[in-house]
Amino acid sequence: MYRHLILICLLSLFHTSCTSQKEKSATTTLSEPSLKAMIGQMVMIGFRGMEIDSVSPKIITQIEKGLVGGIILFDYDLVKKSRRRNIESPAQVKKLIADLQQKSKTPLWVAVDQEGGKVNRLKAKYGFPRIASAKYLGQLDNLDSTKYHALLNAHNLQQVGFNLNFAPVVDLDLNPKNPVIGKYERSYSDQSATVIKHAQAWIRIHDSLGVLSTLKHFPGHGSSDADSHEGFTDISAYWQAEELQPFKVLSQREPQIGIMTAHVFNRQLDSIFPATLSKKVIHTILRDNWNFQGLIFSDDLQMKAVNKLYDFKTIVKNSILAGVDVLVFGNNLEYQETLPEEVVNLVYQLVSDGEIRKERIQDSYNRIIKAKADLKK
């Protein structure tokens, strides 16, 4: 009788333990994101619409399905050649962003190119404050002035709902005739110490207000004589190792930042691929040599410097293998409403076929989720 009671107790404990393990396993499975959900966090997309009702239902559906991890807003539609894109006034932008955030289960990155000066999506004519250019602030070389404009900019971004700014530019102003950096007064200086000093002040103020800053354009675009928006941009003959210095110093002093890659081709660093598609440039330098653990964003993957040379699969696959965490599609050089779903399905297939390891996707997903969580602290 005593043995029988012990056996019953042991069986009961075993059943309880098994049930507990099954419940724990089920909970773990339910809490783990699917592969497609992880890939979705790596996709940033541009879109059309001034208010939620004018945004394409296809875009909304992809956000709701978790196929989009971030959005980027523009004030001008390059395809339509129209000022009616996403930005009309502070109140309108705030409402649009809040409504889109409501559609996503995971908080979205809401990004903008708000550098100041000529690269200024939130313009004074729309009711936003005027922000000085980097060149002006670098020439003035007064940190109080830089901090003033950085605070004005960061507060403005925070108030309307942006949490990611694709700035500051830390390219060195080595070529005044550079058609994309020098021409638009986007660089603080041709001296790395000056660039580092002003960019660091900018970064810290934005960070204090919950806006992630992004250094661009790695590994340096300031010496080029061509615009990577327009086509193949070879900087091999012009690029100097000193151009890496602002990225290196700031990535170590301010590890919470993001870094945006450039589509420039630099034979000194990789004789085959432009930087965004190059593991030698991105992973080797940023991850291996500098131990940078922050987010790496691609420049717009629809730009002609990569888009004219490589097919869609190669661009996406090589960017991820190179080390890019967030694939940025401005959707403004060409427009495609189903792009997020196409990207997610392509990457899912690449993982299924063994061309990209699942662990590589998990790494980017973990960094993205951590960065989003850190913004709220």
For residue 50, the 8-state DSSP code is S
Q: Of 206, 221, 229, 263, which is the active-site residue? A: 229
Provide the token pair at 224: 């080029």
| CA atoms of 31 and 19, how far apart (whole Å) | 18
| CA atoms of 248 and 230, how far apart (whole Å) | 28
150 by Cβ neighbours in 10 Å (0-12 / 13-18 / 19+) ranks as buried
308 by Cβ neighbours in 10 Å (0-12 / 13-18 / 19+) ranks as exposed
| CA atoms of 145 and 121, how far apart (whole Å) | 21
- What's 112-128 look like in SS3? ECEEECCEECCCHHHCC
Q: Of 173, 299, 300, 325, which is the active-site residue? A: 299
| CA atoms of 224 and 243, how far apart (whole Å) | 11
| CA atoms of 66 and 51, how far apart (whole Å) | 20
- Residue 227 appears among annotated catalytic residues: no
| CA atoms of 338 and 352, how far apart (whole Å) | 21
- Residue 299 appears among annotated catalytic residues: yes
Catalytic residue numbers read: 229, 299
